[in-house]
Structure 1
Amino acid sequence: MFRTFRGRLALLYVSLELGILLFAGVVLYTALANRVYNEVDEQLVNQAASLASKLEDTSIYFWSAPMNQFADHYAGAIQLISANGIEIFRSDRSLIDRGGNDVSRALGMAFRSGHPAFASTESLLNKANIRVIAFPIFSDGRIVATLMLGHSTADIRSVFNLMYLIGGILGIISILISAAAGYYMAKRALDPIQEITRIARAVAAGDLSRRLTSRAQEKEIGVLVRVLNKMFADLETSFITQKRFTADASHELRLPLTILKGEIEVALRHPRSEQEYQQILRQQLDMIDRIQRIVNDLLTLASADAGQLEMIQTELDLSLLLQEVGQQHLILFDSQHISLDMEIEDDLEIMGDATQIERTMMNLLSNAFKHAPEYSTIYLSAHVTDRSVIICVRDEGPGIAEEQQGRLFDRFYRADDARCRKDGQGAGLGLAICKRIVDAHDGDIWVKSRPGEGAAFFIRLPLMAIDKGHQQRLRHVVAENADAA
């Protein structure tokens, strides 16, 4: 049991409890022993002083009467020794013989100093212990004898024995309770850890859907459970995304490669004319271009995921860029009798990468063209709202179902695989790339659509905080300095 954390914690509680009890017992014994000694000594002093006063008022030849009278009602031992060491009176066994050196030293100290001295025959808690006082008796200013009184501490020992018996029982009970409480608290605290271990093993084995359900009240455990659940959810999402990405990428690349392989095999079956070979090679070149576009898009997304997507942040005239991108699509739109309606505010300036922003707008306009019916209109607008510019690309196509809009910016996702595209099957990477580019510019991209009412894609980008008046004044000063030079 002590190899486990809960066992060691319970042992620690028991050790601390035992140490506290031992320390408390030593302190209590010392305090009570001193108190008992003081009370016994005070009582002995009073009794010895009373008897010594009578002896000092009585001639030495008549001391036997007050000594016998005192011995009749005194329960302890009495011994009276003259200054020359002769025993004058003894009511019981000699205190000097019972006390040994301690009592002899107390007797000598009383003779030398003229003050009472104390000694004990045994330990305070010993059954045969006697507390002894050596009290000097004066006559004509000199010590003529020393009175020795002994007081038994047997009754005190009984009280101490009872106290230690009760204290020992209570201490054992306290230790057992502390051990049980420590083991229970450790078990309760470690139950979430066991669940975490079990769920972590299941996740490590491949079951990424498992989650922790601990209801632990400890704040630290609760925080750990939430962090681990988030980590498991992120792992599951990442794993599912990776699997879907691998499957979709394999599917997107397998189809053109299969077509390319089939065309080459057909071309090699029998000799053909130069014109036929050129036609086959042009078809294969188109297929290779498509594969190259898919691979380039995948590299772009991989760079974005790794935080290595190159963004050259410069001052960018967004109004001019949007107008140029719109004009580049006029011929393409006109081929399907689609018109372009642009409402772009002037002087929209941002900090961004012109190439990547242009790529984003190209993808959105191309996407709108793919789904816009003939003789419809595509709308491109840009206006300022709350220190940001809102760009909108809207078409009049079939629209997108609400349940599909949440996944529209996922890789290889198509809202409708059966939908006909004007320029062939797309790989479903354009919107995912748009989102990565917009995110890299601290912006947002979203879609609003209803089935049958077209789709509108919105981009929010932060405006560049520049004082245009200050910029114009700066240019004017630079121009003046150049003319002066």
Structure 2
Amino acid sequence: MKLRGQLNLLLLATALVPFIATSLFSYQLNRVAKEESSNHLESMIVAKSISRTLNQNAQMFDGSAKELGRLALKQHENVQLGLYSKDRALQFQSASEEGVFATHLTPEGMFSNLYSWQSSDSAYIYKEPIFLQDQIAGYFELRFDKSGIRKETKEVYMLTILFFLITVGITLFIVQHWFKRNMLVPFAWMKAEMDEVAYGKQNRTTPVKRGRTEVGQLMDNFANMAAHLRAIDAQKQSDDEDRKKLIAAISHDLRTPLTSIRAYAEGMHAHPDKREEYSKVILAKTEYMQRLIEDLLIFSQVHSTSFSLSLKKVDAEELVELLFDGYDLEKEQLRLSTNMEIEPAEVDADAGRLVQVMDNLVTNAICYSPEGGAISLYATNKQSCLPPFVARTNEQRLYIFVKDEGQGIPSGVQRQLFDPFFQVEQARSQTNDKGVGLGLSICRELINQHGGAIDVYSSPPHGSTFFFSIPCIKTEGGNE
């Protein structure tokens, strides 16, 4: 629910509290008023009944007012009766407490209230004369207790006030909790996050629960922005580290062959008879420097935002033949074998870039293979022909494998092989010249841009198998 909707609901609930309390109070008062009206009507009926009894037995008034009073109250126990003589002196009272009935009434106190109902805090009062043969024999006064109604009215007041206070307390608690949850805590969290971003801290503050209101969306957007800024900062630091590694690696890998070239050039000057031997070493070091510079150029290209592949539809078998045919010389000098099991299919590929990937993998295999070790190149797009260590997929892919018989690669560093500037320790290499650690990183980037994947399987000391795959497009004659 949006913040505006929650606020409207909160205001509505706050407005309903006094309305409900007032409605409840009015309802209870109406109920008490109805009950009081009913009691008053009942009192009038009782008064008429007692008046009739007293007037019918008025002859008993002078001789035995007490008996007359008891006779009148015989069926009305909840009424208090007082009998007065003609001169307004109290002759009988049913009340046990003193002072309920006056011992003598003034003419004004008696005659001003005859035949009318009076109400005091504790009772309804009714007075009427008693007639004997059309002559006033005396007077009677009735008192109907209403303390129960008064008590009930007081209870209504107390319960209504209690309900109002409880409801207001609950409402205030809900309002306070809502403001804390939706306003105070989120803004405190955002302030802490802003402070961290402002001062460049990388620590995370304690996460808070975010609702679906505008404040929650603001928190999400701010958290995403802060995470993005942290990622940019982390990437910047990583780039700085990579740049430092690159400069250090380039400096080292260029200085080493340059030092050798200088030393052998000076040796050629000092030992003319070894000119041919030294020139071969200088040529080898120059070729190494050329490969290093080419790797740096390719690495810079593939990580450029303007870099893109020149993808074309190529027959899968023709592509594999192109990748394998460049190693005829190695077949003669090394134990290098090729094999393929390809069913008709096409691939979207940049053949030139895949040749670069293949050259890197084969060069590494030669570099890390022992003297006389076998290197095998294998290609297939059949699921049934894949080695067991390759995960099966639902789509047809072209797989290229380069297997060597080197010492293998420990499992702890296999995931790092494709990171820029990472190099397997020199002891595993069978040559002294190594690159700057960019070859496999370049391979991964080029394969990723083909929509493929590259990986390694190695179980020391039984050699390693580097392999990559790219999606195939089946031809009409392809097998299902």
1:391 maps to 400
Shift of 1:468: 2.1
Determine helix, strand or coil for the equivalent of 1:329.
Answer: helix
Once the two structures are superposed, the pairs formed by residues 348-359 of structure 1 within 5 Å of their partners are 348-359=345-356
1:31 maps to 27
Once the two structures are superposed, the pairs formed by residues 306-345 of structure 1 within 5 Å of their partners are 309-332=307-330, 334=332, 337-345=333-341
Aligned AA (2:296): I
User: Is residue 2:255 matched to residue 1:246?
Assistant: no
Once the two structures are superposed, the pairs formed by residues 19-98 of structure 1 within 5 Å of their partners are 19-45=15-41, 91=113
Shift of 1:342: 0.7
CA 1:332–1:343: 2 relative to 1, 3 Å: closer
1:165 maps to 158
CA 1:198–1:322: 2 relative to 1, 3 Å: same
User: Is residue 2:444 matched to residue 1:451?
Assistant: no
Shift of 1:426: 0.9
CA 1:309–1:164: 2 relative to 1, 3 Å: farther
Structure 2 length as normaliser, TM-score?
A: 0.58
CA contact 1:399–1:449 (8 Å) conserved in 2? yes
CA contact 2:330–2:336 (8 Å) conserved in 1? no
- C-alpha offsets along residues 459-478 of structure 1, whole Å, 9 cap, x if unaligned? 233321332279xxxxxxxx
Aligned AA (2:21): G
User: Is residue 2:416 matched to residue 1:407?
Assistant: yes
1:479 maps to none
CA 1:322–1:17: 2 relative to 1, 3 Å: closer
CA 1:452–1:246: 2 relative to 1, 3 Å: same
User: Pairwise CA RMSD of aligned residues?
Assistant: 5.8
Shift of 1:325: 2.3
Shift of 1:372: 2.5
Aligned AA (1:458): F
% same residue: 22
CA 1:325–1:313: 2 relative to 1, 3 Å: closer
Shift of 1:29: 1.7
- C-alpha offsets along residues 307-329 of structure 1, whole Å, 9 cap, x if unaligned? x6423443222322222222212
Could you tell me which of 350, 362, 371 is aligned with 1:374? Answer: 371
Once the two structures are superposed, the pairs formed by residues 241-320 of structure 1 within 5 Å of their partners are 241-255=238-252, 287=289, 290-291=292-293, 293-303=295-305, 309-320=307-318
Name whichever of 397-406 and 250-259 sits farther off.
Answer: 250-259
- C-alpha offsets along residues 396-438 of structure 1, whole Å, 9 cap, x if unaligned? 2232122111100101111124655758331211211221222
Determine helix, strand or coil for the equivalent of 2:468.
Answer: strand
Tell me the distance in 2 between the aligned counterparts of 1:40 and 1:291.
108
CA contact 2:316–2:398 (8 Å) conserved in 1? no
2:94 maps to none
Q: Gapped runs of 5+ residues in structure 2?
A: 1-5, 52-71, 74-78, 82-110, 125-142, 264-268, 270-274, 384-392
CA 1:451–1:285: 2 relative to 1, 3 Å: closer
CA contact 2:298–2:442 (8 Å) conserved in 1? no
Tell me the distance in 2 between the aligned counterparts of 1:230 and 1:204.
13
Tell me the distance in 2 between the aligned counterparts of 1:193 and 1:370.
59
CA 1:53–1:195: 2 relative to 1, 3 Å: closer
Could you tell me which of 458, 463, 467 is aligned with 2:472? Answer: 463
Aligned AA (2:477): K
2:127 maps to none
CA 1:460–1:153: 2 relative to 1, 3 Å: farther
Determine helix, strand or coil for the equivalent of 1:254.
Answer: helix
Tell me the distance in 2 between the aligned counterparts of 1:172 and 1:16.
18
CA contact 2:323–2:354 (8 Å) conserved in 1? no
Once the two structures are superposed, the pairs formed by residues 142-157 of structure 1 within 5 Å of their partners are 156-157=149-150
Determine helix, strand or coil for the equivalent of 2:454.
Answer: strand
User: Is residue 2:436 matched to residue 1:427?
Assistant: yes
Shift of 1:395: 1.3
Structure 1 length as normaliser, TM-score?
A: 0.57
CA 1:315–1:292: 2 relative to 1, 3 Å: closer
CA contact 1:196–1:212 (8 Å) conserved in 2? no
CA 1:155–1:43: 2 relative to 1, 3 Å: closer
* Higher relative contact order (Cα pairs below 8 Å, separated by 6+ residues): 2
CA contact 1:128–1:152 (8 Å) conserved in 2? no
CA contact 2:311–2:349 (8 Å) conserved in 1? yes
Determine helix, strand or coil for the equivalent of 1:468.
Answer: coil
- C-alpha offsets along residues 355-392 of structure 1, whole Å, 9 cap, x if unaligned? 33233222212222222233332111012215233221
Aligned AA (1:459): F
CA contact 2:29–2:153 (8 Å) conserved in 1? no
Tell me the distance in 1 between the aligned counterparts of 2:347 and 2:314.
5
Tell me the distance in 2 between the aligned counterparts of 1:448 and 1:233.
35
Tell me the distance in 2 between the aligned counterparts of 1:359 and 1:369.
15
CA 1:235–1:196: 2 relative to 1, 3 Å: farther
Aligned AA (2:369): A
Tell me the distance in 1 between the aligned counterparts of 2:476 and 2:205.
53
Tell me the distance in 1 between the aligned counterparts of 2:152 and 2:294.
100
CA contact 2:348–2:472 (8 Å) conserved in 1? yes
Tell me the distance in 1 between the aligned counterparts of 2:170 and 2:20.
18
Name whichever of 163-172 and 446-455 sits farther off.
Answer: 163-172
